[in-house]
Amino acid sequence: MPNITVTHAETGLIQAEVVRSERVTPNMVRVTLGGDDLRRFEHRGFDQWFRLALPVGSPDDLARMPAKFGVGGYLSYLRIPKGHRPVVRNYTVRSFDEPAGELAIDFVSHGTEGVAGPWAAS
């Protein structure tokens, strides 16, 4: 008998901005996101994860992201030309401060390789 239930929030694409970051251990950076659109975030509690899109070229490239990331959305994402296609990585919710509308993410800081780790570190 499983003692967990897996659920999926239908929120779709949310735009957010970095409000602060702090190095919580030598190898971990906590990045806190905020912004009006983040108030739509559906917090599901323990072990919730989501996809984070980061621009690799211009920040304007984020406007090319599909509104949903199902099969159709993923195919639209793949049609974004390389060089403009935001990088997508999965992250676990460290905490969500509902009154403030702020989402904290703990990034493993693993050096200069990759995209998301170095982005968080910088």
Ligand X SMILES: Cc1cc2nc3c(=O)[nH]c(=O)nc-3n(C[C@H](O)[C@H](O)[C@H](O)COP(=O)(O)OP(=O)(O)OC[C@H]3O[C@@H](n4cnc5c(N)ncnc54)[C@H](O)[C@@H]3O)c2cc1C
Nearer to ligand X, 44 or 89 (CB): 89
Shortest Cβ distance from residue 52 to ligand X (Å)? 8
Nearer to ligand X, 68 or 110 (CB): 110
Shortest Cβ distance from residue 95 to ligand X (Å)? 11
- Closest residue to ligand X: CB criterion: 114
Nearer to ligand X, 77 or 91 (CB): 91
Return the half-sphere exposure (C-beta side, CA atoms, 13 A cut-off) of residue 39.
Answer: 5
The footprint of ligand X (CB under 6 A) covers: 49, 89-92, 105-108, 110, 113-117
Nearer to ligand X, 1 or 26 (CB): 26
